[in-house]
Structure 1
Amino acid sequence: MSHTYHYDYIIIGAGIIGLSIAKELGEKFPKCSIAILEKEDDVAKHASGLNSGVLHAGFYYTSDSLKARFCVDGNRLMKAFCKENNIPVNHCGKVVIASNEEELQGLYELENRGRRNGVDVELIDLVRLKEIDSNAKSYQKALYSPNTASVDPKLVCTKLKEILVEHGVKFEFSSEFKKKKNNIIYTNQKQYTCEYLINAAGLYADKIARQFGFAKNRIIIPFRGNYLKYSNSNHTIKTHIYPVPNLLNPFLGVHYTLTVKNELKLGPTATPALWRENYKGLSNFNFQEFIQIIYYETKLFLFNSFHFRRLAISEIKKYNRKHFVKLAQHLSNNCNPDLFDTWTKPGIRAQLLNTKTLKLEMDFIVEKDEHSLHILNAVSPAFTCSFAFASYLVSEKIKKIQHKK
């Protein structure tokens, strides 16, 4: 009979959410044993390491959402963590621009949301816009967010791993969750028991949650996000430049993003993927996932829920680089469209779908019982929110283990 390893807390997933929760647990309960099970060979191999690195300010989200609740504090805590650990931050700020009268009304709504959420946000005129970034173009007004910034998400996650290892957290890499049976967690390597399990498995969080009786009527539908990199480092863009988004869906539209190294990117796409790790070509192809996801994407297309048909067609068109670049030309004056010429490595958004309503879930979703907690739909701005979100989960949701050593 195989040896069973026991820990107080087991976390599945070494992305930013799993790492942040481990950090918070270690600080709150230093005598407890913690293990992180990760199917890859290192941390942040998926969305946590492949996202844009933008630290959002928090003005997109309705005030009753978890996203709004944790974005402002998450932004502040992430910047403090980076400062403490000498991780660079690009404090470039962001402007949201309008193209017409309808989008101008969208700016007013974003300003209202921002103020309700405690965000430092300001409606500015075109003179002030030119002072902030002379490249940005807008209709009558723009929205300015000074606290939006950029970091290297991979650097953040790697530093978290170093800190956690120093504090005794056990990382079990190349360890893929297979099943739960009679309170034993089986992986492809070992088997485990724990006092409390935390599912932060990103793209696979729903599949794991179902083994614990959760994620009913919910499934993750993956969307692939690609960026085009600007090949000239001497660009004159000074801030993130975003359009007014459609607030009925969770995507923010094609925009200009500055990296922590001040490189300029255009994107992202939000292409419906055909299996969970559908990064490129047929790599990581999974037939069972393909059939399941095609079923729901076909259903969304036929019923045209949340205008999925229009979304899917518009995203397919973005494979044409010239068309993709043209979508954002109205945002800026001085970018040479021919210099957006290099596709970066894509990321996959683990977007949760309600299979009863056929609507995308807009907020983070947490389901739990006395033995486990499952974090579903940890999509943008989850990276920004991570430290504040983890603090909330450990304080209010996760079982407290009084461990004696």
Structure 2
Amino acid sequence: MKSYDYLIVGGGIIGLSIARELKSRFPETSICIIEKESDVAYHSSGRNSGVLHAGFYYTANSLKARFTREGNQEMTKYCIDNGLRINKCGKVVAATNEEEFQGLIELKSRAEKNGVELEWVDQSVVNMIDTNVKTFNKALYSPTTSSVDPIEVCQTIKDEVIKKGVKILCNTRYKGSSNNKILTNKGEFDCSYFINAAGLYADKIAKDFKFGKKYTIIPFKGIYLKYAKNKTDVTTNIYPVPNLKNPFLGVHFTKTVDESIKIGPTAIPAFWRENYKGLKNFKLGEFLSILYYEAKLFVTNSFNFRSLAREEMKKYKKSHFINLSLKLVKHVDKRGFGKFMKPGIRAQLLNKETMELVQDFVVEGDHRSFHILNAVSPGFTCAFPFSRYVVDEIAKRKSERLKLVKDNIS
């Protein structure tokens, strides 16, 4: 029987960062991360855009707003301190018409409430940032938005926590929980506290502990298309004005850490949780469950799911995908785009009672276990401050339980 003070399932950026925070606060505790894949950051943590967001998309009372600004600063410092690559290329959010310009006004308002640096710039200033950006009237410029290599970051955190004594067991798949024991394909584990940071499967694991009952994960496939012609036609991140009623930011130009250019991502409804390519990783139970909820969303048309699904499916057509991006720039070579890049899956939480996509972080837990049910974008940016929050919440729940026990004894 393997026994630890803390057992974390999930070797993505959140699981790694929680282990890092726990070791920082409680150096003597024993911590183990179990990961079903052969290495960490195998899924969304290693397949995301690599953009460190600034924090102006989110309403002021949200956890995302609270953590993104701090996370941007901390992750930027972490990369610099550890000699990791970072491209401080900034971001321009451009409008194409008057209606979208009103969206820029809302984003500027949110930035001010969140204490995030975001500047109004006219076309002449935009030209100084990136001559290729096309905007209506004015645009917004975020100087603190950067790009990093997410796998490089995760591997560095992995090495750091291993040096501090954290055990990371890969190829170790969570199978269930029984009599306070965690069951895996590598045997049973005993732990004083269990932390669920399993991303795409966090909702299923949470239900083993009687949490997350009103939620389910609906996966969305994100695909990028590389601009293969050169690395110079775009010099900054260029984003459209998003529909703030859903959590997706629309097709945009990303300037990567190595100066490459890509457009994307899609937000295509997926039919099973690891629906990356073809029928690989197909699971009938997942397919039927997800199809049920997607059909329900289609019938009820919650958050305009019908039009979202139709528009996203069109993006499988390369020419349509490219044309969407052209609205943001004055000129790029349509023939300069290469192949679709490695896809990622967004583990998007759905509230089954309201049939709405949950846009903020969601956590549940007690004195024995804690479950990160929703940590989607900008979860990578938020990882460090969010992990402090998680450890604070765990400490609070354990303290409340201890107080209750003492009160009952007295």
Shift of 1:334: 2.2
- 1:299-320 residue CA offsets vs partner (Å, 9 max, x unmatched): 1111111111001111111111
TM-score by length of structure 1 reads: 0.97
Shift of 1:233: 2.5
The aligned runs of 1:345-364 (5 Å cut-off) are 345-364=342-361
Shift of 1:376: 1.1
Does 2:3 match 1:6?
yes
Partner in structure 1 of residue 377 of structure 2: 380
Structure 1 unaligned runs (5+)?
A: none
Shift of 1:398: 4.0
Assess if the C-alpha contact under 8 Å between 2:231 and 2:261 holds in 1: no
Shift of 1:264: 0.2
Partner in structure 1 of residue 88 of structure 2: 91
What amino acid sits opposite 1:286 in the alignment?
Answer: K
Does 2:204 match 1:216?
no
Shift of 1:164: 1.0
Does 2:48 match 1:51?
yes
Cα distance change of structure 1 residues 309 and 401 upon mapping to structure 2, 3 Å threshold: closer
Decide which of 59, 62, 66 is 1:62's aligned counterpart. Answer: 59
Partner in structure 1 of residue 31 of structure 2: 34
What amino acid sits opposite 1:102 in the alignment?
Answer: E
Shift of 1:340: 1.6
Assess if the C-alpha contact under 8 Å between 1:266 and 1:340 holds in 2: no
Cα distance change of structure 1 residues 47 and 398 upon mapping to structure 2, 3 Å threshold: farther
Structure 2 unaligned runs (5+)?
A: 400-410
The aligned runs of 1:177-192 (5 Å cut-off) are 177-192=174-189
Q: Secondary structure at the match of 1:127?
A: helix
- 1:51-105 residue CA offsets vs partner (Å, 9 max, x unmatched): 0000000000001111000001100110111111110100000000001111111
- 1:323-349 residue CA offsets vs partner (Å, 9 max, x unmatched): 110011110012111112211000000
The CA RMSD over aligned residues, in Å, is 1.2
TM-score by length of structure 2 reads: 0.96
Partner in structure 1 of residue 405 of structure 2: none
Partner in structure 2 of residue 340 of structure 1: 337
Shift of 1:401: 8.3
Does 2:242 match 1:249?
no
**How many residues were matched structurally?**
399
The aligned runs of 1:116-265 (5 Å cut-off) are 116-265=113-262
Partner in structure 1 of residue 310 of structure 2: 313
Give the distance between the partners of 1:240 and 1:255, measured in 2 at CA: 8
Give the distance between the partners of 1:335 and 1:193, measured in 2 at CA: 57
Shift of 1:395: 2.6
Assess if the C-alpha contact under 8 Å between 1:90 and 1:149 holds in 2: yes
Query: Following superposition, which runs of at least 4 residues in structure 1 exceed 2 angstroms of deviation?
Result: 233-236, 395-402
Partner in structure 2 of residue 81 of structure 1: 78
What amino acid sits opposite 1:225 in the alignment?
Answer: G
